[in-house]
Chains A and B, each alone.
Chain A
Amino acid sequence: MTTATVLEPKMPKCWRQETKPHKFCPGCGHGDILKALGTAIDELGIQDRVVFGCDIGCSLLSWDFFNCDAIQTHHGRTTPVMTGIKRARPELICIAYMGDGGGYAIGAQHLVNAASRNEKLTVILANNAQYGMTGGQMAPTTLPGMKTETSPYGRDVDATGNPTLGPEMVAAITPASAYVARGTMANIPQLTRMMKKALQNQIDGNGFSFVEALSACPTNWRMNAAKTWEFVEKEMTKYFKVGELKVPAAKQEG
């Protein structure tokens, strides 16, 4: 008889064990992104100072994800809710977590204005190229030709525009003290480093920090694991270049 070694999955210490396993669909990118965020919080030792805000969309399923104070609000208003807290209590580390629908469509004005004002916040946005929670409609980030519930014949860029380049936009409107990057669930060590830098930028009181993370929604994409990975790594990166766009007085991520 052989004894099987049971490997416990390694969870960040700031995760709330009682709420695990989490509520995202199997293979969803949100879990991985929140793992990178959790690791970053652990490594910076800021768990007791973090206020985590999540948005409408599947990100709301993370309202009880961490052993941190958390607030779930809606449709892109997470950024102003966190702004309100940060302005009143600058010692807190405020993290706004949202999807591409919340960040680039309904709540875009909040992202634009918080970035312009250089709010000392960290905004993390999961880009899964469509609206997950409402059942897979077109998002600002939907790829050209991609079929969704509201682009059933494929996204026609002549009629609906090109995929939104969020980090590129944020980089263009923020001052030099901001941190802006695009990571991916396909490279968690890199994404974790980006999150750490984004949080450090807030801790240092430097300025706005923004990380977009390429994410997967196998449920609405109707894809198996292999196809999902291929889509994230090959298709999404054609439009969404992974890397750092703005790094205040620091070394660029390779």
Chain B
Amino acid sequence: MADKPIQGEKRMFMTGNEVCAYAALAAGVDIMYGYPITPQNEIMHYWTRLAPKHNRSFLQTEDEISAGFTTCGGVLSGKRAFTATAGPGNTLMQEPMSMAEMMRIPAVFIIQQRGGPSTATVIYSQQEVTMTCYGANGEGLRVVYSTANHQELYDYTIKAFNTAWKYRFPTFVLGDGYQAKMRESLTMYDPELRGIKMVDTYPLVGLPGKAGADRDPAHLRNTYNTEEELYEVVKELVATYEKFAPEIVEHTTMECDDAEVVILCHGIVSRAAVEAIRELRADGVKAGMFRPITLRPFPAEPLRNVVQKAKKLLIVESAEGQFARLALPSLYGLTTPMETIFKPGQGITSDEIVKKIKAMA
């Protein structure tokens, strides 16, 4: 039994779901809790094949409400634990997710978005943005990484466990059906060899010593008796989240320095944007791209700086404006003209973006 599932560095060609299972292994995950739903099933399938060989565990629960709560339980007991879901499963999991916000449970959730509303399609969309960032009752005190390719699925799955345990907010890797199912190459690595130290996990319940005698008992709750008390607690949570946000927030840009048209997009759609920018630049159109990597917290300031300098903004997403609604508050007061390509539940090609931008000129 090899103690390190990924030895050194390895070039691999595989599906995104497989990548997530390997990344979780490499990150030192102890246990996965899950419930089948397409398109994330193979994360469980690979995990159930690999995990016993590396002394890791798995539990298939009766539904996603349970998968989310068992994950919270695993984390409370000090294990590096995660679950994965999609669409209607993400909907059901909002209840445990909001408990994780309130109790600051560092649980990791991988979401492979599919079409909605409700059961809809099992294929692809970017329609789980609002739900993943702000689902459930509460203030959306979560960290959400939106990945664009398999390398990022690997990198950010590992990173998600460290973000979760360092800052103690529930952390999400937001992929999609295309990333889940397609094959592409990436480099897998043992995080330690790249100087990535996995943040230590620790139990929040079941601590050593006799409670009440040797130590204080761990009394965790998400119920508050008075409005005033809750107000204090939530204000404190929000302040903590906001204090950490600048350390967590991430974005990337392409050719934004002199860009006259800025494409704003996230996740896999950015790959169409990258290709479109290459074509547009070759035709002398000064296009650039701004891509938030964290959707929560949102890179508001850098986006504003880029859009302020541009003549036009194009927001592109595989949903009917969910991402736009996240981004627009950052642009309040700017007068940059804006157009959109909203395609709920459909992929977006570089040709469509090129055509749109040429028509905008």
| Residue ranges of A at the interface with B (Cβ–Cβ < 8 Å) | 56, 60, 74-75, 101, 105-108, 131, 134-135, 137-138, 140, 149-153, 160
Partner-binding segment picked from B37-45, B99-107, B325-333: B37-45
With a CB–CB cut-off of 8 A, which chain A residues contact B63? Answer: 75, 105-107
A134 x B41 contact (CB < 8 A):
yes
Any chain A CB within 8 A of the CB of B219? no
Number of interface residues of B (CB under 8 A): 19
Q: Is the CB of B41 within 8 A of A149?
A: yes
> Contact between A106 and B45 (Cβ–Cβ < 8 Å)?
no
Q: Are A75 and B48 in contact (CB under 8 A)?
A: no
A135 near B41 with CB under 8 A, answer yes
Seed contacts A74-B118, A152-B49; 5 additional CB < 8 Å A-B pairs: A60-B119, A75-B63, A105-B35, A152-B48, A160-B60
B62 within 8 A of A: yes
Contact of A137 among B36, B52, B119 (CB under 8 A): B36
Is residue B88 within 8 Å, beta carbon to beta carbon, of the partner chain?
Answer: yes
Is B118 touching A140 in the complex (CB atoms < 8 A)?
no
Separation of A135 and B180 alpha carbons in the complex (Å): 15
Q: Is the CB of A153 within 8 A of B52?
A: yes
Q: Which residues of A contact B118 (CB under 8 A)?
A: 74
Could you tell me if B88 and A150 are in contact, using CB atoms closer than 8 angstroms?
Answer: no
Q: Contacting B45 at CB < 8 Å: which of A107, A149, A153?
A: A149
B37 contact from A60, A134, A152, Cβ within 8 A: A134
Contact yes or no, A106 B35, CB < 8 A? yes
Contact status A134-B36, CB under 8 Å: yes
Bound form: Cα–Cα A160–B44 in Å: 15
Cα A75 to Cα B63 in complex, Å, equals: 9
In the complex, the answer to whether B36 meets A131 with C-beta atoms within 8 Å is: yes
B52 near A106: Cβ-Cβ < 8 Å: no
Q: Are B48 and A134 in contact (CB under 8 A)?
A: no
In the bound complex, CA of A101 to CA of B62 (Å): 8
- The docked-state distance in angstroms from the alpha carbon of A105 to that of B35 is 10
Within the complex, the shortest CB–CB distance from B43 to chain A, in Å, comes to: 11
Q: Which residues of B contact A75 (CB under 8 A)?
A: 63, 88
Complex-state Cα separation, A20 to B38, whole angstroms: 27
Chain A residues in 8 Å Cβ range of B64: 106
B62 close to A108 (CB less than 8 A) = yes
Leading 6 A-B pairs by shortest Cβ distance: A106-B63, A105-B62, A134-B36, A137-B36, A149-B45, A74-B119
The interface of chain B, by Cβ under 8 A from chain A, is 34-38, 41, 44-45, 48-49, 52, 58, 60, 62-64, 88, 118-119
A56 contacts B119, CB within 8 Å? yes
Give me 19 A-to-B residue pairs in the complex whose CB atoms sit less than 8 angstroms apart, sorted by A's number.
Answer: A56-B119, A75-B63, A105-B35, A106-B35, A108-B62, A134-B41, A135-B36, A135-B38, A135-B41, A137-B41, A138-B60, A149-B44, A149-B48, A150-B34, A150-B44, A150-B58, A151-B48, A153-B52, A160-B60
B44 CB contact (under 8 Å) in A74, A107, A108, A137: A137
Residues of A within 8 A of B52 (CB): 153
Q: Which residues of B contact A108 (CB under 8 A)?
A: 62
For the complex formed, measure the closest distance between the CB of B92 and the CB atoms of chain A, giving whole angstroms.
Answer: 8
Whether the pair B48, A106 counts as a contact (CB closer than 8 A) is no
Q: How far is the CB of B284 from chain A (nearest CB, A)?
A: 49
Q: Closest chain A residue to B89 by CB distance?
A: A75
**Bound complex: CA A176 to CA B154 (Å):** 57
Min Cβ gap A117→B in Å is 21
CB-CB under 8 A from B44, the residues of chain A are: 137, 149-150
Q: Which residues of B have CB within 8 Å of A160?
A: 60
Q: Give, as a whole number of angstroms, the nearest-CB distance from A24 to chain B.
A: 17
CB distance from B63 to the nearest CB of A (A): 4
**Which one, A60, A74, A137, contacts B60 given CB within 8 A?**
A137
Q: How far is the CA of A105 from the CA of B49 in the complex (A)?
A: 22
CA distance A101 to B35 in the complex (A): 10
Q: Which residues of chain A have C-beta atoms less than 8 A from B37's C-beta?
A: 134
Contact of A150 with B119 at beta-carbon distance under 8 Å, contacts A134-B37, A160-B60 already known: no
Residues of A within 8 A of B48 (CB): 149-152
Q: Which residues of A contact B88 (CB under 8 A)?
A: 56, 74-75
- Measured CA separation A60–B49 after assembly (Å): 30
Q: Whole-angstrom distance from the CB of B219 to the nearest CB of chain A?
A: 29
Within the complex, the shortest CB–CB distance from B344 to chain A, in Å, comes to 19
Nearest residue (CB) in B for A76 is B63
Q: Given A137-B36, A152-B48, do A106 and B62 touch, yes or no (CB 8 Å)?
A: yes
Chain B residue numbers with a CB within 8 Å of A149 are 41, 44-45, 48
Report chain A residues within 8 Å CB of B35.
Answer: 105-106
Give Cα A134 to B64, complex, Å.
15
Give every chain A residue within 8 A of B34 (Cβ-Cβ): 150
Provide the residues of chain B in CB contact with A152, threshold 8 Å.
Answer: 45, 48-49
B62 neighbours in A (Cβ, 8 Å)? 105-106, 108, 140
Write the nearest CB–CB distance from B343 to chain A, whole angstroms: 24
A56–B118 Cα gap in the complex (Å)?
Answer: 11
User: In the complex, what distance in Å separates the CA atom of A140 from the CA atom of B60?
Assistant: 10
- With a cutoff of 8 Å between Cβ atoms, the chain B residues found around residue A153 in the complex are 52
Docked pose: A135 CA to B37 CA in angstroms: 9
